[in-house]
Structure 1
Amino acid sequence: MLPELGRIGPVVLRTYTLLLDLAILVGLGLLALFGHFSGEKPSRWVDAGLGAIAGGIVLGRLGHVAIHWAYFSEHMVEIAQVWRGGIDWHGAVVGGLAALAVGCRLFGLNFRAVTDALSFILPMGAALTYSGCLMVSCGHGREVASLADYPRFLVAELPDLYGVVAPRLASQLYGVVLSLLLIVVAGILAWRVQRQGVRFWIVLGLLGLIAFGIGFTRGDAVPPVGSLRLDQVLDLGTVALALTGTLIASRPLPVPPEAALT
């Protein structure tokens, strides 16, 4: 729809990249704010967040390349061109969490407290990412015979990745709306769930279910696994990871030996 916003000299302003940059900046700003309210140095939270972003981009890109290896095996030069779009969110979550855990250890931060902040940042980033995909037509919906066969808010005349405009299920728009609703859910969880570290895993699991459901409406090419798409299988894997994380985070932290003696 709008892959480029214009140029500044030789620099092309790519919509997807700008929205991804906005997600990063807002996410780091929220981390600094949560760090301030926690009584710790906000810069440490931001540093841990930068590490998580780096880990997420690296593993997320590698995941995207692996899923679409049939294409990248013939276009090797594009593997490192992250600015053109193409980050697998499952890999980004795993890589980001691993890097965040390392960062929290290095900077002496409470990992569970930081993930509470991520319960807001994750759906915000998802909303902006789905918006970017809507603008550049990645993750487009499958074609339908006629717009008249569906409610108006479910379909639209949209292009695919190759610019072919046709009546389609508005898959990216579903992602935007549901991710925004998930931010509201994160706020409710912040009010109702008191134990540190639990909220993030609940939000992650719900985001996985959202992506899984949207997968049935998508029309972009992804390798199949039985009756599902490969990304849907990874969505279910993310839900399983979230359930495991919820169970672990629901347990009280072990009492240090020195505290038990007092």
Structure 2
Amino acid sequence: MLHHPAIDPIALQLGPLAIRWYGLMYLLGFAAAWWLGRRRVNAPGSGWRVDELGDLIFYGALGAVVGGRLGYTLFYQPAYYLSHPLAIVQAWQGGMSFHGGLLGVLVACWLYGRKTGRGFFAVTDFVAPLVPTGLLAGRLGNFINGELWGRVTDVPWGMVFQGAGELPRHPSQLYQAGLEGALLFVIVWVYSARPRPTMAVSGVFLLSYGALRFIGEFARQPDAFIGFVAFDWLTMGQLLSLPMLAAGVVLLALVRRRGSGGS
């Protein structure tokens, strides 16, 4: 049995300014997206310029943060935030939703596409391989904070988390970092390394993330204020992943139909 190292969530204190590990993980994720984006821009036949990348990352970062926060307030605790609207902007208190962040990024991609004259899926196909490293960094931030722990377990690597009782739990943050971060990155990056039809990379991302998130949720403890949303096993994270699975299947079916000459 292991014990969570109880890392101080504040990485650096500069007078009244507290720099938190979770915020640094977000910066690390955006920096990784920039670096990977440079590699995609420089790939032969990319059709993208380096000077476009900065604006795209800015749009995406803004969409991820705003969408992630609004998504959390709407999907997870709408009643609380409706009665405490000022708390919505207090993101430093915790509470970000990937699914909300994804919607925010999609809106950002649409706005960027309108500004530059690029098609929506041309933008999302470029962005999709840049996302998993940010998810990896975010899950590591969850682990450092000792939040979003897993269900009670008797596996040898079960971990006792402060505030979660005395029983060992799955370190589900690390599981999800490996699934939604590392494995998803390998799948989407390798798939996008060759020229693909429009919508194909976006479809693979949506289908892969939806499946990996659905699997990872089986080890994660449901949020106490929600619990299971159906069947005594379906979590909110799994429920929100189902539309992603469906959208991924639809996009890949459209790509295949178009490739086979269907009208």
Supply the RMSD in Å over aligned alpha carbons: 2.6
**Paired position in structure 1 for 2:212:** 210
Q: Which amino acid aligns with 2:97?
A: D
Distance in 2, Cα, partners of 1:180 & 1:119: 14
Deviation at 1:225, TM superposition (A): 2.3
Distance in 1, Cα, partners of 2:51 & 2:255: 25
**Contact 2:21–2:141 (Cα < 8 Å) also in 1:** yes
**Contact 2:71–2:97 (Cα < 8 Å) also in 1:** yes
Matches of residues 227-242 of structure 1 in structure 2 within 5 Å?
A: 227=231, 228-242=234-248
From 48, 58, 79, give the equivalent of 2:66.
58
**Paired position in structure 2 for 1:94:** 103
Matches of residues 26-45 of structure 1 in structure 2 within 5 Å?
A: 26-37=32-43, 38-45=46-53
Distance in 2, Cα, partners of 1:240 & 1:181: 20
Provide the identity percentage.
28
From 6, 9, 15, give the equivalent of 2:15.
9
Distance in 1, Cα, partners of 2:208 & 2:249: 10
Comparing 39-48 and 234-243, the one that deviates more: 39-48
From 217, 229, 234, give the equivalent of 1:225.
229
Distance in 1, Cα, partners of 2:174 & 2:16: 31
- CA displacement, residues 215-249 of structure 1 (integer Å, 9 cap, x when unaligned): 22222325242222222211112211222233345
Deviation at 1:84, TM superposition (A): 3.3
**Contact 1:45–1:114 (Cα < 8 Å) also in 2:** no
Distance in 1, Cα, partners of 2:27 & 2:126: 19
| Alpha carbons of structure 1 residues 41 and 194: separation in structure 2 relative to 1, 3 Å | closer
**Contact 2:30–2:57 (Cα < 8 Å) also in 1:** no
Matches of residues 1-262 of structure 1 in structure 2 within 5 Å?
A: 1-2=6-7, 3-37=9-43, 38-66=46-74, 67-73=76-82, 75-144=84-153, 149-150=154-155, 152-153=156-157, 155-159=158-162, 162=163, 164=165, 166-178=167-179, 179-191=181-193, 194-219=196-221, 220-223=223-226, 224-227=228-231, 228-250=234-256
Three-state SS of the structure 1 residue aligned to 2:19 is strand
Provide structure 2 residue ranges, at least 5 long, that are not aligned to the other structure.
1-5
Provide structure 1 residue ranges, at least 5 long, that are not aligned to the other structure.
254-262
Aligned positions, number: 245
Distance in 2, Cα, partners of 1:202 & 1:244: 11
TM-score computed with the length of structure 2 as normaliser: 0.81
Q: Which runs of 4+ in 1 moved over 6 A?
A: none
